């Protein structure tokens, strides 16, 4: 494998087990990301985006587990290590979490501890992975808060999460994620809890810090505008499976899968006025416990082929340079 490759996910399967049955949250997902590159993962709610991120960090909830596939991460001098083989509670993965791979969680209000100051929580990460005293860790935490644009960082370091606005909490979360200058940053819906103005500021901040630190970035979102703003490559997911994988330009200007086309058609076009017709994807996402046979998207697909799409699962094939799709409309 090339040295510039940072992360390679191969056929990842993460299932959840309950009395109702087996929920295949992630079912055979594959992608890779190079150093300094940005991958956008998009799809409707419940398609497995966040579980993919949890699987990489090995923080899947207790009733779920990785049942197949590999997550190969480049640790420089040690080469590639398969994160799937590590004990999720072991010392080795704990050294990687926060230091080599960090995550900005979807809702910082529930991700921060409400009974500790944001300063103490950032300092804890710094002291866990770096040989710094408490005083040095506090100085670094203040420096990080200043870097992410937190107003009055010397005062805010002693604030509790509930003292901060949504935008300030998100900045504190970014500061904590970047405290050890990770090789890979995973941002899970980083702008969900903030308004449009703050969203633009947060995205610009992430772009600047990524460039400064030469980090790889995985941005998880249902907002394709965010993908267009940040990503180099895009993975579209549906019910735990990858349906299309391409460069950002190729995906937006030459989408192939009917689901990808449906997502793009459902976005209002700038300059078209209030009378433009939005084309929503027909039907609704099926129950994860009652998956349709064959292609999972066929009950909602406008180009459904009877006797084919409802009988067999389409292979994930390459149809162009760095462009893959899972659809019977395209042959090898």
**DSSP state at residue 286:** P
pLDDT of amino acid 51? 95
Give φ, ψ of 277 to 5 degrees.
Answer: -95, 120
Q: Give me the residue spans of the domains in the chain.
A: 5-91+218-325
Largest CA distance in the chain: 68
pLDDT for position 71: 97
* Per-position DSSP letters for 236-268, written without gaps between them: EEETTEEEEEEEHHHHHHS--SHHHHHHHHTSP
Q: Indicate the pLDDT class of residue 273, thresholds 50, 70 and 90.
A: low
Q: How many other CB atoms are there within 10 angstroms of residue 181's CB atom?
A: 16
**Which tokens sit at 206?**
């992430």
Mean pLDDT of the 225-230 span: 87
Predicted confidence at residue 11, as pLDDT, reads 95
Tens-digit pLDDT profile for residues 89-99: 999 999 899 88
Helix intervals (H) in 91-189: 91-96, 108-111, 118-129, 134-147, 153-156, 166-177
pLDDT at 2: 66
Q: How confident is the model at residue 120 (pLDDT cuts 50, 70, 90)?
A: very high
Summary mean pLDDT of the chain: 89
Q: Is-contact 22 41, C-beta < 8 A?
A: no
- CA dihedral (258, 290, 239, 200) positive or negative: positive
Q: What is the third-level CATH fold of 5-91+218-325?
A: Rossmann fold (3.40.50)
The answer on pLDDT for 258 being more than 90 is yes
User: In percent, how much of the chain has pLDDT > 90?
Assistant: 54
Q: How high is the pLDDT of residue 193? A: 62
Considering only 23-37, 63-77, 256-270, which range has the smallest mean pLDDT?
256-270
The predicted pLDDT at position 144 comes to: 87
pLDDT-derived band at 78 (thresholds 50, 70, 90) equals confident
Query: What pLDDT is attached to residue 194?
Result: 66
pLDDT(250) > 70: yes
Greater confidence, 272 or 210? 210
In this prediction, residues 144-166 reach a mean pLDDT of: 89
> pTM above the 0.95 mark?
no
| pLDDT confidence of residue 329 | 92
- Can you tell me whether residue 127 is helix, strand or coil? helix
What is the tens place of the pLDDT at every residue in 93-116? 998 998 899 988 877 777 788 899
**Whole-angstrom Cα distance, residue 74 to residue 90?**
19
pLDDT at 14: 97
pLDDT given at position 332: 56
| Band of pLDDT at residue 249, cut at 50, 70 and 90 | very high
Q: Are strands 64-74 and 80-82 parallel, antiparallel or unpaired?
A: antiparallel
């Amino acid at each position: 494998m090339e040295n510039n490759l940072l992360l390679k996910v191969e056929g990842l399967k993460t299932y959840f087990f309950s009395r109702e049955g087996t929920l295949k949250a992630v079912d055979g997902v594959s992608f890779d990301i190079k150093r300094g590159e940005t991958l956008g993962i998009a799809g409707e709610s419940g398609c497995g985006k966040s579980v993919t991120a949890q699987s990489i960090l090995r923080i899947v909830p207790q009733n779920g587990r990785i049942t197949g596939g590999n997550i190969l991460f480049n640790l420089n001098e040690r080469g590639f290590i398969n994160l799937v083989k590590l004990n999720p509670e072991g010392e080795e993965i704990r050294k990687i979490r926060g230091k080599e791979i960090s995550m900005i969680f979807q809702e910082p209000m529930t991700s921060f501890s409400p009974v500790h100051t944001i300063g103490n929580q950032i300092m804890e990460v710094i002291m866990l992975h770096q040989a710094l005293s408490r005083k040095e860790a506090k100085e670094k935490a203040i420096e990080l808060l200043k870097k992410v644009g937190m107003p009055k960082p010397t005062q805010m370091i002693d604030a509790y999460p509930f003292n901060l606005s949504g935008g300030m909490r998100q900045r504190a979360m970014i500061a904590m994620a970047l405290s050890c200058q990770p090789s890979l940053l995973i941002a899970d819906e980083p702008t969900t809890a903030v308004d449009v103005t703050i969203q633009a500021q947060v995205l610009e901040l992430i772009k600047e810090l990524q460039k400064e630190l030469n980090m790889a970035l995985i941005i998880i979102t249902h907002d394709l505008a965010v993908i267009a703003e940040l990503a180099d490559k895009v993975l579209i997911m549906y019910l735990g499976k990858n349906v299309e994988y391409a460069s950002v330009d190729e995906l937006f200007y030459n989408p192939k899968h009917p689901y990808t086309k449906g997502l793009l058609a459902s976005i209002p076009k700038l300059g078209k006025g209030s009378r433009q017709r939005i084309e929503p994807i027909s039907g609704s996402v099926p129950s994860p416990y009652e998956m349709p046979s064959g292609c999972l998207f066929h009950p909602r697909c406008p180009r459904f082929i009877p006797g084919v799409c409802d009988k067999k699962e389409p292979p994930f094939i390459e149809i162009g340079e760095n462009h893959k799709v899972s659809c019977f409309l395209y042959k090898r």
